A and B are shown apart, each in its own frame.
Chain A
Amino acid sequence: MSGPLTQAERDVLAAIADRLVPPDGPMPAPSSIGIAEALADRVLTVRPDLREDLGRALRAYEARTEQDVVAWLQALGLSDPAAWRALTFVVVGGYYLHPEVRRALGYPGQQPEPVPTTDYPEYLRDGLLERVYQRGPRFRPAP
């Protein structure tokens, strides 16, 4: 299977995501932030190679007999590790892209921040490193 996710696939993905990453306090439900729409599409744009494995995971979900989604996922990990990897990657990758989720988690994204022009490090000021030195050589002399 290739090409964009079908509506049926999106519905299944949203349902799975809501069970794997259920809402909790400030953390929104995946379906409420578009996990199976724009977010999944963004992940798959960067990782089109996951499309087929994801499709297989979604079909496996529909054919499942196990009702407990977490237990089903665990079984999928054993029977089809590639499908498991694609599904968990798309859910987690998409979910943690969303600004609301990042805000709630306190993650600003990777940001540049110049290294402080070293004021004297604390371990030098308080003698901590000096004590390592005073304990003497730690290496074995070699001929």
Chain B
Amino acid sequence: MRERADVVIVGAGAAGGVVAHRLATAGFRVTCLEQGRWPDRSAYPAPRDDWEIIASKRWSPDPNVRGLPEDYPIESDESDIVPLMYNAVGGSMVLYAGDWPRMAPSDFRVRTLDGVADDWPITYADLEPYYDQIAREVGVAGLAGDPAYPEGADLPLPPLPLGPGVLNVARAHDRLGWHWWPAPSAIASAPYRGRHPCAQWGTCMQGCPEGAKASTDLTHWPEAVERGARLITDARVRRVVLGPRGLATGVEYVDEDGREAFVAADVVVLAANGIGTPRLLLASADSRCPDGLANGSGLVGRRLMMHPFAVVTGVFDRPLQTWKGNVGSRIHCLEFYESDPDRGFVRGAKWSLAPASGGPMSAALPPRAGAAVWGVEHHRAVRERFGRCLTWGIFGEDLPDEANRVELSETRTDTAGIPAPRVVYRVSENSRRLLAFHVERATESLLEAGAIRVEARERLREAGWHLLGTARMGTDPATSVVDPWGRAHEVPNLYVADGSVFVTSGGVNPTNTIVSLALRIADGMVARRREQRIPA
């Protein structure tokens, strides 16, 4: 099979959905290839009594555990953090929690302000109109005016309810003089553009049965398809093909019946996420680019950032029904977000306060239940914790390090024979110190709020939700893979639109920034369409 498009996009997840929507709206003929399928909302496990059992396998965020035919395996033996994702229309947003913070202005200027890592080639101000536009497209619930950010536009929806116990933590911060703010979420708190409001199922990370949580299968794809975008599912892209003039001519893929196929296109956009995109660039090596496509800098796959994570749990002495409501952040704290030279590390972290979600199973199994949960102690341990814990989830800035990387496995492939990625990643000394400091402060917060006990876990391994930095943007082709508009320095009709382009990680959940950047990249393609070089 062979088809033609103006633009072929690889990946129908967060970034792919936004780019397809923007380009189809501008009249481009868009084809998107997605290895997964349309999610079936009626199959989400929330209403079933065995939902936690199902969640542990079919809905695991770890593709190695899920092992669905559309997943590719990831070699992560040499990684301190396991990469997590979901492969379907909507991408990892199908399982994400919907936390929707922005990065702060200083996140784009880490070199200038802190003397480490690199500055972005763009600023917060460059991205601000895209953050505002995306907020309307996905329907963000929250309150404008957060003093952790420059003054900005109102959000389209009122904040979600805080839920029991959370206000006490806010009051504790009031006494401590610390920042807090109702957390912005990409979850409808009222009917929005045909979507239902949140029904507090508490299973956002196993798929939202209500369709309240924004993911591009709901927010962007239906309209993109209506406007002419063609979305081919069950299609695994194996490589980007480079033509004789140094331009990409299209992509080769394996279709649902295992047949080889090709989409010829004027422009190729990669939106396969921070692991999938470098994997594809590396797998597209040929005699002209033996180290991988667009990899003259040697940085394709390098500088992987995954946000080392800590969780600080406060056990309270009253029922808080924590299995209800959205599982992501209810309030956030950016009191310690900016660098302070006295702390012994640079940069900072955002804290997200969430109920310890899940049913009794997660409360009764280690690590949540603690190690001493067996025997006569069992019921006391479970009663004490189940429905009574609030947690600060702490994402710290993860500074880029070229040794942290995505490569191709020498031994493993996916079901279509495409090499699996191999991830090598170590948590840095800066991250260790940063998390240790933040865990201490978060412990103070929960004790002040009246927790009877506080337990912390640092540097969790199953925490690679954020996949960033593996095809960074910059102005210098020697030290970056794509330019400030997402275009590969070496292949002028190849774009990267996902979290791979991040220069530094910031210390917040990245998807708002990923899709705002993707929208900016798509806007750039529209604005410069006449100058775009294309294969003959």
Contacts and interface: CB of A to CB of B under 8 A. Distances in A.
B158 interface: yes
B359 A110 contact: yes
A132 B179 contact: yes
B202 A110 contact: yes
Chain B, interface SS category? loop
Contacts of B335: 138
A43 interface: yes
A99 B46 CA distance: 17
A131 to B, nearest CB: 6
A115 B123 contact: no
B364 A22 contact: no
B147 A106 contact: no
Interface string A110-143: 1111111110011100001101110111111111
A143 B114 CA distance: 13
Interface string B142-186: 010101111000000011111000010011011001011110000
A21 B378 contact: yes
A22 B376 contact: yes
A5 to B, nearest CB: 16
A128 B57 contact: no
A118 B159 contact: yes
B49 A107 contact: no
Contact of A138 (B109, B179, B387): B179
Contact of A116 (B52, B123, B161): B161
B104 interface: yes
Contact of A42 (B50, B179, B379, B382): B50
Given A106-B387, A142-B108, A142-B124, A97 B50 contact: yes
A20 B113 contact: no
B189 interface: yes
B73 to A, nearest CB: 15
Contact of B199 (A88, A112, A135): A112
Taking residues whose C-beta sits less than 8 angstroms from the other chain, chain B's interface range is 35 or more
Given A107-B360, A121-B159, A49 B199 contact: no
Given A24-B379, A118-B189, A132-B180, A143 B337 contact: no
B69 interface: no
The residue in A49, A102, A115, A140 that gathers the most chain B C-beta atoms within 10 A of its C-beta is: A115
B365 A137 contact: no
B53 interface: yes
Contacts of B170: 123, 128
A98 B343 CA distance: 50
Contact of B387 (A47, A107, A121, A129): A107
B112 interface: yes
Contact of A118 (B54, B161, B181, B366): B161
A93 interface: yes
A33 interface: no
Given A46-B50, A113-B324, A142-B123, A93 B361 contact: yes
B51 interface: yes
B226 to A, nearest CB: 29
A36 interface: no
A24 B377 CA distance: 10
Contacts of B177: 135
Interface of B: 46-47, 49-54, 56-57, 104-106, 108-109, 112-113, 123-124, 143, 145, 147-150, 158-162, 167, 170-171, 173-174, 177, 179-182, 189-190, 197-203, 210, 319, 323-324, 334-335, 337-339, 359-361, 364-366, 374-376, 378-380, 382-383, 386-387
Interface of A: 19-22, 24-25, 27, 42-43, 46-47, 49, 69-70, 73, 88-89, 92-93, 95-97, 101-102, 105-107, 109-118, 121-123, 128-129, 131-133, 135-143
26 contacts: A20-B378, A21-B379, A69-B374, A70-B374, A70-B375, A93-B50, A105-B382, A106-B387, A107-B323, A107-B359, A110-B201, A110-B359, A111-B201, A115-B190, A115-B200, A116-B161, A121-B182, A128-B170, A129-B182, A132-B180, A132-B181, A133-B147, A135-B147, A138-B179, A140-B338, A142-B105
